[in-house]
Structure 1
Amino acid sequence: MKSIIDIVKCSFIKFFLLLTCFYICKISLSKAQEFQFSGNRNSQGINFSLIRNLVIIPVYLNEKGPFNFILDTGVGPMVLTDTSLISLLMLKELRTIKISGMGKGAEISAYVAPGISAKVGNAHIKEIPTVMLKDDIFKLSNYLGIRIHGLLGYYFFKSFVVKINYSNKRLGFYTHQVRKRILGEKVPIELINNKPYIKINISNKEFGEVKAKVVVDNGASHSLSLETLHNDPFPLPELTIPANLGIGLSGPISGSVGRISTLKIGTASFKNVITSYPAYDEVAVKTVYLNRNGNLGAEILSRFNVTFDYAGTAMYLNPNRHFNRPFEHDMSGMEVYTEETGIKRFFISRIEPGSPAEISGVQIDDEIISINSQMASELDLGSIIKTLKARTGGYVFLILSRKGKFLFKRMLLKKRI
């Protein structure tokens, strides 16, 4: 079967999850079940956290937890990324497999983890197909600012009609037997390898108007990633900047970021959409066999309250109060991650050449002590990200720690695309 996952490291504001398919030919899904409610319940709503456009829900595994999981239409089997769960859940009979995915580098090792039960709210599944990475290569916790244990996707979405209310951070789900009027415009989906695909219309002067086939990936923070056009690389916009697009299963993913003129889903239309263009030989060429053009992410989806109905092969898009927010890109040119060792600490992991961060003298491995007179330990990653893309022409004042010395830096933010 084809399944999961290419999850990226955060490219600061550009953090996203870039999902791919790899083969796990020997996983048997004969025992796969659906989530079911206990008793006479047939619907439920729970709150979720929204960080970098990603929906994070509490999940119980083998009656332990709760654990923080990203709810992700881009994954098939459940993915465990936190290796401490092996001992915590007392997992046994783990079978090693080799997997490969997007990015540079060789294949990596993972486990097939049998006999894991999962529970979301009052809905449970007795045994869910599960893959565990041997090493936490993606460091999701560092780039989201809270501990992340894994990703949950297809087996939850196929069990219910699932409504993600991005406006009030509320997840609703109910059985297919329940008859409810679903708000929003109906968009047909096609399930391929347990993932939803739709057709969108995009246009830019470099490639004209294209009806693109994209995977709907709410586990990817970006707006849109364009991979191939007629089995060739997508033409780049006139103005792009080189970017580190993250870490895939097979290593770093490089590419460019620019904008396209328009993107239309059904009757909804967006202009000047920030778009990622992964390097063809690292990502796009590996998706040619999927016969798709790209990946539609949560920066678009979060502008709606979205209902997924896999059984009805449709999703419903109801514009919310975030619909008209501008598409903004990082204006600092640096990536930030967090470490929590009693107190929160924030570090610089990458600096783009010629960026405001480089010009101001910020260096890789610098620790942010203060930003705009606020102690970093009193902030969260989301507020730092918001500050660093506030407005072009605005100054950010940093106190950094470098090799035991404190440095003061003034950085002029600049809109680069």
Structure 2
Amino acid sequence: MLTKYRPVTLLCCRKMIFCVGLLLLFFTQVKGQEFFFSGNQIKQSLPFKSIKNLIVIPVFINGKGPFDFVLDTGVGPMIVTEPSIIDSLDFNMLRKIKVTGLGVETVEAYVSQNINASIGRAKIEHIPTAILKEDLFNLSGHLGIKVYGLIGFNFFNSFMVDVRYSENRIIFSYPYSRVKYRGKKVPIEIENLKPYITADVQVQDSGAVKGKFLMDTGASHALSMEMIDGGAVTVPERKIKANLGMSLSGQIKGYIARVHQISLGDQVFTNVVSGFPDYNTIADKIDLTKRNGNLGADLLRKFDIQFNYQQQFIYLKPNKYARLPFEHDMVGMVVYLDQQEYKRFLIGEIDENSPAERAGLCAKDEIIGVNFKPVDSYTLNDLTELFKSSNARNVIFEIYRDDRVFYVVVKLEKRI
């Protein structure tokens, strides 16, 4: 079954695979639930937080909250990723299941069809929900705010959803209501509760091919190329090794490189940063006959997008981000907030032969200052933009390690 890509670190636009797709098996017969407005309301506008390209919205669960959730076209049932929510809510009739990865220990999760949710003034009763016993996603640590989960299909399937990345706002209305569509109309397909789109892609200076891509607002990267013509994609010569993700069955290795161009609607984007996961590894975990890759939010945010799942089309209108170039992390390391103490900025994985490694930074180092400012004056979003800001720029880190404080200068490097 098609599984879900997720970033190991949203900072570096890497991706993580989780076998939560298996949970769809428990909800395949439950597709009728829809959000609805009470009374005569047919439309609402709601601001969202944009964090590392992701859409974060407030959601009420069983009348309690609000809880921050990622609005994610790449998920089917609602997924609760923060296990503490189980203690704070009165969940009745929860069913415990074991989700088994490939060759690893099983992971406990809860499933329920007796949970109510609301977004703005729209409500849904008995939304299919999976609650992970362990916080596998670590969304809070990588986004820098407390995030409780992901919500997708039931919301998008209930409304025409206008995602205005240019305004950090969504406008949602009943599909049958009178709507002014803007931009280029493009067909999509809804399969396994997720939207797919056809796009022309040219990996290198060769002919373009048509590809089928998952539209994934819950992935911060721009593009992932997984398969062409039934086999592996030839990776461009200029590339860097990367750990593209983690599944329940282990790490997903591959490369980061640039795709020559991709055409979406009537827009052509060039030099697009893309992940190239190892084909032999992911072919055992993902049904690659269904797609060639996935389009993430670093590309999708260049449009304001109107989604109409029920009639299976979208409208794409280029916005103020359309002409911004695609850039990759120029430091080569993961930075996250400690799960227990959210004010501690820690270094996670460091890329081989990256500027961070050459400067002597190490995993588990604590960052207490950047460019002579206390680190708490930055958000993780700020650091993400700083690390992609300019080739050859010096960034000065104040580091705490082994009961000592010292400074490390890292020279940013455009590696691809």
TM range (shorter): over 0.9
Residue 209 of structure 1 is matched in structure 2 by 208
The residue identity in structure 2 corresponding to 1:337 is Y
Aligned equivalents of 1:50 and 1:26: distance in 2?
31
How many residues get paired? 415
Residue 300 of structure 1 is matched in structure 2 by 299
| 1:112 positional shift | 0.9
Residue 179 of structure 1 is matched in structure 2 by 178
Query: Is 2:45 aligned against 1:64?
Result: no
Q: Which moved more, 1:403-412 or 1:13-22?
A: 13-22
**Cα separation, partners in 2 of 1:201 and 1:183, compared to 1, 3 Å:** same
Aligned equivalents of 1:265 and 1:30: distance in 2?
32
**Cα separation, partners in 2 of 1:96 and 1:231, compared to 1, 3 Å:** farther
Aligned equivalents of 1:4 and 1:209: distance in 2?
27
Aligned equivalents of 1:67 and 1:34: distance in 2?
20
| 1:247 positional shift | 2.7
Q: Which moved more, 1:274-283 or 1:340-349?
A: 340-349
Residue 156 of structure 2 is matched in structure 1 by 157
Residue 89 of structure 1 is matched in structure 2 by 89
Residue 397 of structure 1 is matched in structure 2 by 396
TM-score by length of 1: 0.94
SS state at 1:382 partner = helix
The residue identity in structure 1 corresponding to 2:55 is V
Residue 413 of structure 1 is matched in structure 2 by 412
Aligned equivalents of 2:321 and 2:390: distance in 1?
18
Q: Is the 8 A contact 2:100 2:107 kept in 1?
A: yes
Aligned equivalents of 2:341 and 2:352: distance in 1?
33
Q: Is the 8 A contact 2:7 2:13 kept in 1?
A: no
Q: Is the 8 A contact 1:349 1:365 kept in 2?
A: yes
Q: Structure 1: state its 5+ residue gaps.
A: none
User: Where does 1:188-199 land on structure 2 (aligned, <5 Å)?
Assistant: 188-199=187-198
Residue 255 of structure 2 is matched in structure 1 by 256
Aligned equivalents of 2:164 and 2:327: distance in 1?
22
| 1:13 positional shift | 2.3
| 1:86 positional shift | 1.1
The residue identity in structure 2 corresponding to 1:50 is S
User: Where does 1:282-361 land on structure 2 (aligned, <5 Å)?
Assistant: 282-288=281-287, 290-339=289-338, 344-361=343-360
SS state at 1:308 partner = strand
SS state at 2:281 partner = coil
Q: Percent identity?
A: 40
Aligned equivalents of 2:80 and 2:356: distance in 1?
35
Query: Is 2:39 aligned against 1:39?
Result: yes
**Cα separation, partners in 2 of 1:201 and 1:354, compared to 1, 3 Å:** same
Q: Is the 8 A contact 1:4 1:74 kept in 2?
A: no
SS state at 1:25 partner = helix
Q: Is the 8 A contact 1:240 1:257 kept in 2?
A: yes
**Cα separation, partners in 2 of 1:340 and 1:283, compared to 1, 3 Å:** closer
**Cα separation, partners in 2 of 1:95 and 1:3, compared to 1, 3 Å:** farther
Q: Is the 8 A contact 1:107 1:250 kept in 2?
A: no
Aligned equivalents of 2:215 and 2:108: distance in 1?
27
Q: Structure 1, residues 66-98: CA drift from partner, whole Å, max 9, x if none?
A: 000000011000000010111211223322333
The residue identity in structure 2 corresponding to 1:242 is K
**Cα separation, partners in 2 of 1:77 and 1:44, compared to 1, 3 Å:** same
Aligned equivalents of 1:15 and 1:229: distance in 2?
21
Q: Structure 1, residues 158-186: CA drift from partner, whole Å, max 9, x if none?
A: 00000011111011000022111210111
Aligned equivalents of 1:112 and 1:341: distance in 2?
26
SS state at 2:155 partner = helix
Residue 139 of structure 1 is matched in structure 2 by 138
Q: Is the 8 A contact 1:306 1:316 kept in 2?
A: yes
Q: Structure 2: state its 5+ residue gaps.
A: none
Query: Is 2:230 aligned against 1:231?
Result: yes
SS state at 2:381 partner = helix
Aligned equivalents of 1:205 and 1:211: distance in 2?
14
**Cα separation, partners in 2 of 1:71 and 1:3, compared to 1, 3 Å:** farther
Aligned equivalents of 1:267 and 1:49: distance in 2?
28
| 1:4 positional shift | 6.1
Taking only aligned residues, the RMSD between alpha carbons, in angstroms, comes to: 2.1
The residue identity in structure 1 corresponding to 2:59 is V
The residue identity in structure 2 corresponding to 1:80 is V
Aligned equivalents of 2:247 and 2:375: distance in 1?
29
**Cα separation, partners in 2 of 1:144 and 1:16, compared to 1, 3 Å:** farther
Aligned equivalents of 1:369 and 1:165: distance in 2?
35
**Cα separation, partners in 2 of 1:242 and 1:277, compared to 1, 3 Å:** same
**Cα separation, partners in 2 of 1:156 and 1:343, compared to 1, 3 Å:** closer
| 1:321 positional shift | 0.4
| 1:353 positional shift | 1.2
Q: Structure 1, residues 142-163: CA drift from partner, whole Å, max 9, x if none?
A: 0000011010000000000000
Q: Structure 1, residues 4-36: CA drift from partner, whole Å, max 9, x if none?
A: 644332163214565773354344644842100
SS state at 2:67 partner = strand
Residue 368 of structure 1 is matched in structure 2 by 367
| 1:250 positional shift | 3.6
The residue identity in structure 1 corresponding to 2:45 is G
SS state at 2:280 partner = coil
Q: Is the 8 A contact 1:11 1:245 kept in 2?
A: no
